[in-house]
Amino acid sequence: MTRHARARFSPLPSGPVPNACERIWEATRRIPRGRVSTYGAIATLAGYPGGARLAGFALGCLPPGADIPWQRVMNAGGRVSLPGSAGTRQRALLEKEGVVFRENRVDLSVFGWPATAGGKLRHGGI
């Protein structure tokens, strides 16, 4: 999270047209309880195929206490990308929802959303 981006988005983005952050957040809201999605998938749902990094950026812009299940977004390997205590918190929240961690990893073929074809979500850098 860069300082300028934080200053710009932290209070909540303003403007008539929803920006990328808000669209990412809306996509994140659609993840059902007890399931997880990936940055790439979220970006695609939001209309930014290949914008996995953007998804991470947008979630980083997320103001604390927002009504968004940000904890249900993980990286393509089914691992928590959030460093430090935030990552621990994310895992705790997910486990409380019924998501099973196995060696710090989640089986996306079981808990992945949307429905994973072939066991793994195909997306990301092209």
Partner DNA sequence: TACCTGACCTAGC
Partner DNA sequence: AGCTAGGCCAGGT
Q: Does 4 bind DNA (CB under 7 A)?
A: yes
Amino acid identity at 67: D
Q: Does 108 bind DNA (CB under 7 A)?
A: no
Task: Find the part of the chain contacting DNA (CB under 7 A) among 81-89, 91-99, 110-118.
Answer: 81-89
- How far apart are alpha carbons 26 and 116 in whole angstroms? 20
- How far apart are alpha carbons 126 and 28 in whole angstroms? 21
Give the DSSP H/E element, type plus range, for residue 42: helix 39-45
Q: Does 75 bind DNA (CB under 7 A)?
A: yes
Binding string, 15-34, against DNA, x = CB under 7 A? ----xxx-------------
Residue 69 backbone dihedrals phi, psi, to 5 degrees: -75, 65
Give the DSSP H/E element, type plus range, for residue 105: none
CA-CA distances (angstroms) from residue 85 to 88, 90, 98? 5, 9, 20
Q: Does 113 bind DNA (CB under 7 A)?
A: no
Q: How far is the CB of 29 from DNA (least distance, A)?
A: 13
Q: Which residues bind DNA (CB under 7 A)?
A: 1-2, 4-5, 7-9, 19-21, 38-40, 48-57, 59-60, 62, 70-71, 73, 75-77, 81-83, 86, 90, 120-126
